[in-house]
Amino acid sequence: MKNIAKLLFQANLLKEIPRSGYHFLGSGKESVAEHTFSTAFVAYVLSKIETGVDALRLISMCLVHDLTETRIGDLNTVQKRYVSSDEDKALADTIEQLPFGGSLSELIREFNEGQTREARLARDADQIAFILDLKTLADIGYSPPQKWLPAVIKRLKTETGKMLAEHIMHTNWDSWWFKKLY
């Protein structure tokens, strides 16, 4: 149980680790934990739209996909051109002596490889979480997200992810509540 407690403290640290890509936008911020919640929630929604997917596996993959960032940080695309990290070592150190370490490792590796249907949906959920943030910033008046959105949308692999992104792009961020005020 002591190793499980250590894992929980490690995962809890994601609340303190900022996502680094927002520096390039000049606005917005979020912790890795906030991003993970958004990604997992998008995955839940995708599991309700897509038939025949293993929803638990999909959502679990999203929940743990950035766990190693507690050890290596959140390296954005620019940083990855100059800095390398050893995610395999970070994962090995994270799961050592955990009775379910193999399961964690399998979920993260499946996500990173992106070959299964659930992994493709999980990776789309990861991008859709970012699209939601970018669209929100664009809707409130920031212009840099307009340059980023097409590139992020191109990363989507599933038809469901692409369709959802299309609807996000045609929906104002505040339309869910603003309509009720007037």
DSSP state of 73: -
List the domain boundaries for the chain.
Answer: 2-176
Q: How many CB atoms lie within 10 A of CB 80?
A: 10
Instruction: Give the DSSP per-residue string, 4-69.
Output: HHHHHHHHHGGGTPBPSTHHHHTS---BHHHHHHHHHHHHHHHHHHSSS--HHHHHHHHHHTTTTH
User: pLDDT at position 27, please?
Assistant: 76
Residue 177 has pLDDT above 80, yes or no: yes
Amino acid at site 89: K
Task: For residues 132 and 55, give the distance between their C-alpha atoms in angstroms, rounded to a whole number.
Answer: 21
**Segment 7-25 mean pLDDT:** 90
User: pLDDT at position 182, please?
Assistant: 59
| Residue with token string 């599991």 | 47
User: pLDDT at position 21, please?
Assistant: 82
**Mean pLDDT lowest among 9-13, 21-25, 89-93, 127-131:** 21-25
**182 by DSSP, 3-state: which?**
coil
Is 0.85 topped by the overall pTM?
yes
156, 127 Cβ separation under 8 angstroms: yes
pLDDT in tens, 73-129: 898 888 889 999 999 999 999 999 999 999 999 999 999 999 999 999 999 999 999
Residue 11 sits at the vertex; the CA angle it makes with 71 and 27, to the nearest 5 degrees, is: 75
What the block records as the tokens of 58 is 């999909």
User: pLDDT at position 181, please?
Assistant: 67
What the block records as the tokens of 35 is 């991003």
Task: For residues 54 and 95, give the distance between their C-alpha atoms in angstroms, rounded to a whole number.
Answer: 23
What the block records as the tokens of 157 is 């692999």
| Residue with token string 């964690």 | 104
Domain at 2-176: CATH code: 1.10.3210.10
pLDDT in tens, 24-41: 777 778 999 999 999 999
